[in-house]
């Protein structure tokens, strides 16, 4: 009997857990370590952040599902990794600290045969001075609680505008190397929709603030897209959305500090500039969780398991190279740690080999460019193939790793939806294939132009809505859930 321990119950970890249960049956033990009692369908937090959905529509309690599936759940956070065990314990283990009310702070050693680290990113608000959601009009939509607070703050601003007070809304990235521009893009379109819906456009200034060199970069170096039969690009696509909605933009901006409703940022020209706001939603920098790792002798081997940014090292090529030398082949396929074969890291938890957007530095030497995004689809897909590989390994006794999913070979769809309801929404639907451009295979456009597309319209909005219900249905493990793709 094998014991698989999954750290994290987000999109990647929960997907891996569901498939492990399906493939392994109840003969083997699956243990999930999660600090949170809920599963959150994060993409729909945007709708909580504009008051269109309630928190309970985007989350559900994990414990009853896991109990039904025969999965052990420990409400705790992993802190230290011991992939060789220690002086007392022969077996590899992770040290965890309980987060539940009853056992808060209590520590335990959780042993494993296979470890799936799907802990996603640490939302590193502290990396930007003054970036504190809930303070002085600053908000976030990265968690459901943040999104609820964002909506409460937004409502107050609507009231002020109704009373004749003009308000400035700044949405975008809150750190010079933040990623997840897609989420911020979706939020600003939704905020713009809600303002228009209330006929308050004349009272609002909307500003997009981004570390992207050009709009539409999205941390993937932008994309050439097929649109209405023509080849266009994501820069034009994004700018046209903003122009139509009267959204002003500030690009190439690295946010350094926020104080007294003022955002202090540096741009690539090395200028230190300011932007006032009444309401701001800025995505923080992402990092690993600051895990530590030790060998059997108790020596620190954190560098063996984790990259300097705190994300886990996997089967990527981390050799330092110039931007022009990077290749899609550098991207991981199996998410297996090269030193400890039974430790894997799907989703956002793995360290990317390099940025996809061109690294840029300001005249003062500050890096200002987006880190690579890892959206829901690759997070789900990598969670699934990790589960498949681990299950086959357990069943056959041999590591086979037949299932592979590189971001350099996998496509992704992103639907940025704005508005609400069957007739009032619109969406920017984008597909890219592959996510990481492959200039060798596709020398003209970097990607397969027949499947890399961008289309605006109501149909995309319906799809996003459908996806909300479909993915929650799947996550709840309802009948035939596995037929729904990641
Ligand atoms: C507002 C917003 C909107 C988005 N919209 C979209 C979208 O429309 N489409 C799309 O494709 N992607 C979207 N994304 C991105 C998508 O949410 C991520 O790609 C996805 O959540 C990553 O999955 P993950 O499992 O790797 O990480 P997460 O979903 O972040 O899950 C990580 C899990 O690890 C747990 N954890 C953290 N620390 C520990 C620890 N120490 N020990 C144990 N567990 C721990 C967390 O509690 C969590 O359960 C959006 C992101 C945001 C923030």
pLDDT over threshold 90, residue 416:
no
Q: Is 34 in the pocket of ligand 1 (CB under 6 A)?
A: yes
pLDDT tier at 452 (50, 70, 90 boundaries)?
very high
pLDDT at 327 over 80: yes
Ligand 1 atom at shortest distance from the alpha carbon of 43: 5
Question: Could you give phi then psi for residue 227, rounded to 5 degrees?
Answer: -140, 115
> Residue 404 and residue 77: Cα distance in Å, rounded?
28
Mean pLDDT of all residues in 245-256: 98
Cα(369) to ligand 1 centroid in Å equals 21
Scan for tokens 């350094």, then name that residue: 256
Cis bond upstream, residue 85 (ω within 30): no
- What ranges make up the beta strands (E) of 204-245? 204-209, 224-227, 230-233
Q: Give residue 301's pLDDT.
A: 98
Buried b (16+ CB within 10 A) or exposed e, 103-127: eeeeeeebbbbbbbbbbbbbbbbeb
Q: Classify residue 126 by its DSSP letter.
A: G
Q: Is 14 in the pocket of ligand 1 (CB under 6 A)?
A: no
C-alpha of residue 13 to centroid of ligand 1, in Å: 9
pLDDT at 279: 98
Rounded distance, CA 211 to CA 202, Å? Answer: 27
The CA 42 to ligand 1 mean position distance, Å, reads 7
How far, in Å, CA of 50 to CA of 191, rounded?
A: 7
Average pLDDT for 158-167: 98
Three-state secondary structure of 128-177: CECCCCCCCCEECCCCHHHHHHHHHHHHHHHHHHHCCCCEEEEEEECCCC
Residue nearest to atom 38 of ligand 1 (CA): 119
CATH architecture of 3-123+287-396: 3-Layer(bba) Sandwich (3.50)
Question: Does residue 59's CB lie within 6 angstroms of at least one atom of ligand 1?
Answer: no
C-beta separation of 29 from 4 below 8 A: yes
Would you mind telling me the total number of residues written for the chain in this entry? 486
Sketch the domain layout of the chain as residue ranges. Answer: 3-123+287-396
Q: Is the confidence at residue 317, as pLDDT, over 80?
A: yes
Integer CA distances (angstroms), 181 to 85, 285, 371, 459, in order: 40, 11, 10, 22
Instruction: Determine which residue's CA is closest to atom 48 belonging to ligand 1.
Output: 10
Kindly state the tokens that stand for 250: 């500030």
């Amino acid at each position: 009997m094998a014991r698989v321990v999954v750290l994290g119950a987000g999109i990647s970890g929960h997907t891996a857990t569901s498939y492990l249960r399906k493939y392994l049956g109840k003969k083997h033990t699956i243990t999930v370590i999660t600090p949170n009692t809920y599963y959150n369908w994060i993409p729909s937090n945007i709708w909580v952040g504009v008051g269109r959905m309630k928190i309970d529509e985007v989350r559900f309690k994990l414990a009853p599902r896991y109990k039904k599936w025969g999965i052990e759940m420990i409400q705790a956070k992993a802190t230290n990794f011991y992939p060789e065990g220690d002086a007392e314990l022969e077996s590899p283990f992770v040290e965890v600290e309980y987060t539940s009310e009853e056992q808060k702070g209590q520590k335990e050693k959780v042993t494993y045969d296979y470890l799936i680290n799907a802990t996603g990113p640490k939302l590193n608000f502290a990396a930007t001075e003054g970036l504190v959601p809930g303070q002085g009009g600053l908000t976030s939509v990265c968690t459901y609680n943040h999104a609820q607070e964002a909506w409460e703050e937004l409502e107050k601003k609507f009231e002020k505008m109704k009373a004749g007070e003009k308000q400035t809304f700044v949405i975008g990235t809150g750190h010079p190397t933040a990623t997840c521009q897609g989420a911020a893009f979706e939020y600003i379109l939704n905020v713009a929709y809600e303002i228009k819906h209330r006929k308050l456009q004349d009272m609002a200034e909307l500003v997009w603030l981004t570390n992207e060199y050009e709009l539409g970069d999205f941390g993937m170096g932008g994309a050439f897209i097929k649109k209405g039969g023509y080849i266009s690009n994501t820069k034009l696509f994004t700018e046209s959305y903003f122009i139509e909605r009267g959204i002003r933009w500030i690009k190439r901006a690295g946010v350094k500090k926020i104080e007294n409703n003022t955002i202090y940022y540096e741009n690539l020209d090395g200028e230190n500039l300011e932007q006032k706001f009444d309401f701001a939603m800025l995505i923080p920098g992402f990092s690993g969780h600051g895990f530590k790792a030790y060998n059997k002798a108790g020596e620190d081997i954190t560098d063996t398991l984790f990259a300097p940014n705190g994300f886990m090292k996997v089967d990527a090529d981390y050799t330092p190279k110039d931007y022009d030398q990077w290749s899609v082949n550098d991207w991981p396929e199996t998410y297996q740690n090269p030193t400890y074969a039974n430790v894997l890291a799907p989703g956002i938890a793995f360290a990317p080999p390099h940025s996809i957007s061109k690294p840029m530095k300001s005249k003062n030497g500050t890096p200002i460019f987006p880190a690579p995004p890892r959206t829901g689809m690759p997070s789900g897909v990598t969670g699934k193939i990790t589960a498949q590989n681990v299950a086959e390994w357990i069943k056959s006794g041999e590591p086979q790793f037949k299932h592979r999913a590189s971001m350099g070979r996998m496509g992704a769809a992103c639907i940025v939806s704005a508005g609400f309801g069957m007739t009032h929404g619109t969406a920017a639907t984008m597909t890219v294939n592959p996510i990481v451009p492959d200039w060798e295979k596709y020398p003209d456009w970097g990607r397969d132009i027949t499947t890399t597309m961008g289309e605006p319209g109501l149909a995309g909005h319906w799809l996003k809505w459908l996806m909300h219900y479909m993915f929650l249905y799947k996550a709840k493990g309802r009948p035939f859930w596995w037929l729904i793709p990641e």
